[in-house]
A and B are shown apart, each in its own frame.
Chain A
Amino acid sequence: MPSVFGQQSVGVVTPQTYHFDEPLFLACGRTLPKYDLVVETYGKLNAKKTNGVLICHALSGNHHAAGYHDEKDKKPGWWDNYIGPGKPIDTDRFFVVSLNNIGGCHGSTGPTTINADTGKPWGKDFPKLRVRDWVNTQARLADTLGIQQWAAIVGGSLGGMQAMRWALEYPDRVRHCIVIASALKLTAQNIAFNETARQAITADPNFFSGNYQVNDSYPKDGLSVARMIGHITYLSDDGMGKKFGREIRSGSFQQGIDEPVEFQIESYLRHQGNAFSSSFDANTYILMTKALDYFDLAREYGDDPASAFAAAQCKFLVVSFTTDWRFSPDRSKEIVNALVAANKPVSYAEIESNFGHDAFLIPIEDYYQIFDSYMKGISIDE
């Protein structure tokens, strides 16, 4: 359809809600009796249903990965740089499925939605989730859509962990696994950042032990600080220096003038924190960071990632970025080494970039080219 958004955009998209009534047994031992998933799709499912591509979102992501929600929408979905007609995740070839995971706060069942048993929002009582729980809900979504096998499952960061878990849990249901800026498990430093962010939230007097919704409250300041901490770790020192340096937004250092100085980086970070905390839920943030912390691909395989990957049947593309220190190239190399040791097909590229962890969202030529080349090699006619 002709679009005001240009040839390479999927244009206006409308999310859909899928209801699931079959109880979901969770890794934590609890059961979710029923749940909703909010889903966007781009492109058309082919007759054989062999061109499905699943997008797994990261910590703060959601179902809105590409396109616009209406003609006046200023910002496209979070991965619009890579999803669309003629883009690496080419919607002229692939049927792209992007969902908001359970535990999220953009329409799928999570802490902000109503618990049917109590008639109140789940809040802090929402079950703790693991990556495998998301993978199980995604498998049920695939069943509903009639997709027996995904052409590819793609994810960055926490999304990459879901893609890898898929390859282990449902080896015959995925042909290609694309893991970008991810890890087999978080390092102590990475968990430390998550815990500091969580402490910022729980220390907010408006948190009410997680029951802020029923108290008509919201830990906005805490969540803002949590996001600011996260945001710092998603950028690189060099990138931040180039973008902001020591530039001053207001005030003066002139002697004799008592005018408080605000650096550009301070105002930028506060803006990021505020914008995020206006559109995200604090309990979801805690839940998602916990899922990140708990993930350890090889835990139940004797801590041997090569034997974890032994059952995988798909091909892998692994990508990392030079200045990403939250999910550093070393973490990606661990994935690659495990795949090589397991004798699995894998290609790996370490992309030169200034953008830190955020690079996976940003158009970078080498990354775009290699991603595009890989996706073009995926057969949709299996």
Chain B
Amino acid sequence: MNNSIKKNMRSDLDIIFGWIKPNSRLLDLGCGDGTLLQRLRDEKQTSGYGLEISTKHINTCVQKQLNVIHQDIGQGLDNFSDNSFDTVVMTQALQAMEEPHKVLLEMLRIGKEGIVTFPNFGHWKARLHLLINGRMPVSDLLPYEWYDTPNIHFCTFTDFEILCHKLGIDIIHREVVSQTGSWLKDFRPNLFGDTALYHLSKK
């Protein structure tokens, strides 16, 4: 199971990697251990910063000689000026934001483009879990109980795209990955894809 998650994570990063142009200036919101930033720096000569709140992750990023800044993205991003980055990336954190719609707008204020990834709450397993058990879904991708989860704003792909439309955000690319690598995700992404990746820009 661990292996398949790892493989899957790698494919997330592969897709993001493909969307980012060489020599871009990046801001990675919640950069974790800096895997993405490091790869982009080394292979696409990107520059920029990662924001992180875990000192353990900050230390790992410093070991990799990445620029990492201790900052809680939930507390706002108003210290970054308009259009100061080519791309602002946020992986697997949108659902943990108190005001996801405002974060999206902030990302596209600071960056010319934005990339977000989030777990799909419309996945068939989540739907089935709620339907059969009558309880909030708990799975390996979403392993938390409803009362102690950092993930407070779930959405499905469809919900997300409606929001983008409302906010005047253009979807440049959309990709869906599935842990099981199912071909079905291409057929019915909102039902069979477990993670969504969106490449966004302002209209």
A, B: real partners: yes
Q: How many residues of A contact B (CB 8 A)?
A: 22
**Which of B67, B71, B80 makes the CB contact (< 8 A) with A345?**
B67
User: Nearest chain B CB to A63's CB is how many angstroms away?
Assistant: 29
Contacts A333-B79, A337-B79, A346-B69 given; indicate if A377 touches B62 (C-beta within 8 A): yes
User: Nearest chain B CB to A3's CB is how many angstroms away?
Assistant: 30
Check: B29 CB closer than 8 A to any chain A CB.
no
User: Nearest chain B CB to A295's CB is how many angstroms away?
Assistant: 22
Residues on A with C-beta less than 8 A from B59 are: 366, 369-370, 373
Residues on B with C-beta less than 8 A from A376 are: 63
**Which of A337, A347, A352 makes the CB contact (< 8 A) with B61?**
A347
**Which of B58, B66, B69 makes the CB contact (< 8 A) with A370?**
B58
Residues on A with C-beta less than 8 A from B55 are: 349, 351-352, 366, 369-370
Q: Is the CB of B58 within 8 A of A340?
A: no
Q: Is the CB of A347 within 8 A of B58?
A: yes
**Which of A341, A343, A350, A369 makes the CB contact (< 8 A) with B70?**
A350
Check: A208 CB closer than 8 A to any chain B CB.
no
A 323-346 binary contact with B (CB < 8 Å = 1; else 0): 000000000010011001101011
Contacts A340-B69, A370-B55 given; indicate if A347 touches B62 (C-beta within 8 A): yes
In the complex, what distance in Å separates the CA atom of A347 from the CA atom of B57? 12
Q: Is the CB of A374 within 8 A of B62?
A: yes
In the complex, what distance in Å separates the CA atom of A95 from the CA atom of B75? 41
Q: How many residues of B contact A (CB 8 A)?
A: 20
In the complex, what distance in Å separates the CA atom of A345 from the CA atom of B58? 15
Check: A35 CB closer than 8 A to any chain B CB.
no
Contacts A346-B69, A347-B58, A347-B68 given; indicate if A377 touches B63 (C-beta within 8 A): yes
Q: Name 5 extra pairs, CB < 8 A, besides A337-B79, A345-B67, A351-B55.
A: A336-B69, A341-B84, A345-B47, A347-B62, A347-B68
Check: B65 CB closer than 8 A to any chain A CB.
yes
Q: Which residues of chain A have a CB within 8 Å of any CB of chain B?
A: 317, 333, 336-337, 340-341, 343, 345-352, 366, 369-370, 373-374, 376-377
**Which single residue of chain B is at the shortest CB-CB distance from A337?**
B79
In the complex, what distance in Å separates the CA atom of A377 from the CA atom of B63? 7
Q: Is the CB of A370 within 8 A of B62?
A: yes
B 43-76 binary contact with A (CB < 8 Å = 1; else 0): 0000101000001001101110111111100000
User: Nearest chain A CB to B200's CB is how many angstroms away?
Assistant: 22
15 example contacts (A-B, Cβ-Cβ < 8 A) are as follows A340-B79, A343-B25, A343-B47, A345-B67, A347-B61, A347-B62, A347-B66, A347-B67, A348-B69, A349-B58, A366-B59, A369-B55, A369-B59, A370-B62, A374-B62
Residues on B with C-beta less than 8 A from A340 are: 49, 69, 79-80, 84
A-B CB proximity, top 7 nearest? A373-B62, A366-B55, A350-B70, A373-B63, A348-B69, A377-B65, A337-B79
Check: B182 CB closer than 8 A to any chain A CB.
no
Residues on A with C-beta less than 8 A from B84 are: 340-341
**Which single residue of chain A is at the shortest CB-CB distance from B49?**
A340
Interface of B is mostly: mixed
Residues on B with C-beta less than 8 A from A377 are: 62-63, 65
User: Nearest chain A CB to B14's CB is how many angstroms away?
Assistant: 26
Residues on B with C-beta less than 8 A from A333 are: 79
**Which single residue of chain B is at the shortest CB-CB distance from A379?**
B65
User: Nearest chain B CB to A271's CB is how many angstroms away?
Assistant: 34
Which of A317, A343, A346, A347 has the most CB atoms of chain B within a 10 A radius of its CB?
A347
Residues on A with C-beta less than 8 A from B180 are: none
Residues on A with C-beta less than 8 A from B62 are: 317, 347, 349, 370, 373-374, 377
Residues on A with C-beta less than 8 A from B68 are: 347-348
Check: B81 CB closer than 8 A to any chain A CB.
yes
Which of A336, A352, A373, A377 has the most CB atoms of chain B within a 10 A radius of its CB?
A373
In the complex, what distance in Å separates the CA atom of A346 from the CA atom of B55? 15
Which of B66, B68, B70, B79 has the most CB atoms of chain A within a 10 A radius of its CB?
B70
Contacts A340-B79, A369-B59, A373-B59 given; indicate if A349 touches B70 (C-beta within 8 A): yes
**Which single residue of chain B is at the shortest CB-CB distance from A367?**
B55
In the complex, what distance in Å separates the CA atom of A374 from the CA atom of B59? 8
User: Nearest chain A CB to B42's CB is how many angstroms away?
Assistant: 15
**Which single residue of chain A is at the shortest CB-CB distance from B68?**
A347
User: Nearest chain A CB to B26's CB is how many angstroms away?
Assistant: 12
Contacts A348-B70, A349-B55 given; indicate if A341 touches B61 (C-beta within 8 A): no
In the complex, what distance in Å separates the CA atom of A63 from the CA atom of B80? 39
Contacts A348-B69, A350-B70 given; indicate if A341 touches B81 (C-beta within 8 A): yes
In the complex, what distance in Å separates the CA atom of A317 from the CA atom of B67? 9
User: Nearest chain A CB to B104's CB is how many angstroms away?
Assistant: 21
In the complex, what distance in Å separates the CA atom of A160 from the CA atom of B80? 24
In the complex, what distance in Å separates the CA atom of A370 from the CA atom of B62? 7
User: Nearest chain A CB to B71's CB is how many angstroms away?
Assistant: 8
Q: Is the CB of B79 within 8 A of A346?
A: no
**Which single residue of chain B is at the shortest CB-CB distance from A320?**
B70
User: Nearest chain B CB to A152's CB is how many angstroms away?
Assistant: 14
Residues on A with C-beta less than 8 A from B65 are: 377
In the complex, what distance in Å separates the CA atom of A331 from the CA atom of B82? 22
Residues on B with C-beta less than 8 A from A369 are: 55, 59
Which of A337, A341, A370 has the most CB atoms of chain B within a 10 A radius of its CB?
A370
Residues on A with C-beta less than 8 A from B49 are: 340, 346
**Which of B25, B47, B69, B81 makes the CB contact (< 8 A) with A347?**
B69
